Structure 1
């Protein structure tokens, strides 16, 4: 009995320390925002138009 008791105590302590991992489904749907690419394209187009305008009209500045 004296040899079994420490083994049982160690087993109980180790089983109490096992990590628990849960996988849960989110309540809200996942959304992906793609506005970054659209804003980038608009900005590039505006910058190109401004460069063309400055090249054509030297008297602006």
Structure 2
């Protein structure tokens, strides 16, 4: 296990204790906060507007 994972788990568990959130909810919130602090989009990419063409075999 890497030290980054330990730090992340510690942050998640601290948030869980503070907020009463479940692990996955706290993890998602921390990941959103981290992405926002780095200037990255926190929204999921838009789905494709049409399916790619099917190539016959």
Q: Normalising by structure 2, what TM-score?
A: 0.32
Larger relative contact order, structure 1 or 2 (CA cutoff 8 Å, min sep 6): 2
Greater per-residue helix proportion: 1
